[in-house]
Amino acid sequence: MAEINTALVKKLRERTGEGMMDCKKALLKAGGEIEKAIDDMRASGAIKAAKKAGNIAIEGAIALKEDGKSAVLLEVNSQTDFLAIQDDFKAFVLASIEQAFADKLITTELLIKAQEAARIVLVGKVGENVNIRRLVRIEGDVVGGYLHGNTIGAVVALKGGDVKLAKDIAMHVAATHPEFLLPSEVSNAVIQREQAVFLRLNADKIAGKPENIVDNMINGRIRKFLAEVSLVEQAFIKNHAVKVGELVKKAGAEIVSFTYYKVGEDIEKPGDNFFN
pLDDT in tens, 36-86: 888 787 777 766 555 544 456 689 999 999 999 999 999 999 999 899 999
Q: Which helix or strand (DSSP H or E) is residue 138 part of?
A: strand 130-139
Cβ pair 68, 157 in contact under 8 A: no
The CA distance from 39 to 24, in Å, is: 14
Cβ pair 134, 112 in contact under 8 A: no
Local confidence pLDDT in tens for the 276 residues of the chain:
667 888 888 888 877 777 888 888 899 999 998 888 887 877 777 665 555 444 566 899 999 999 999 999 999 999 998 999 999 999 999 999 999 999 999 999 999 999 999 999 999 899 888 999 999 999 999 999 999 999 999 999 999 999 999 999 999 999 999 999 999 999 999 899 888 888 888 888 888 888 889 889 998 999 998 988 999 999 999 999 999 999 999 999 999 999 999 998 877 655 444 333
- The domains found in the chain, sorted by start residue, are 1-56 (1.10.8.10), 59-179+255-262 (3.30.479.20)
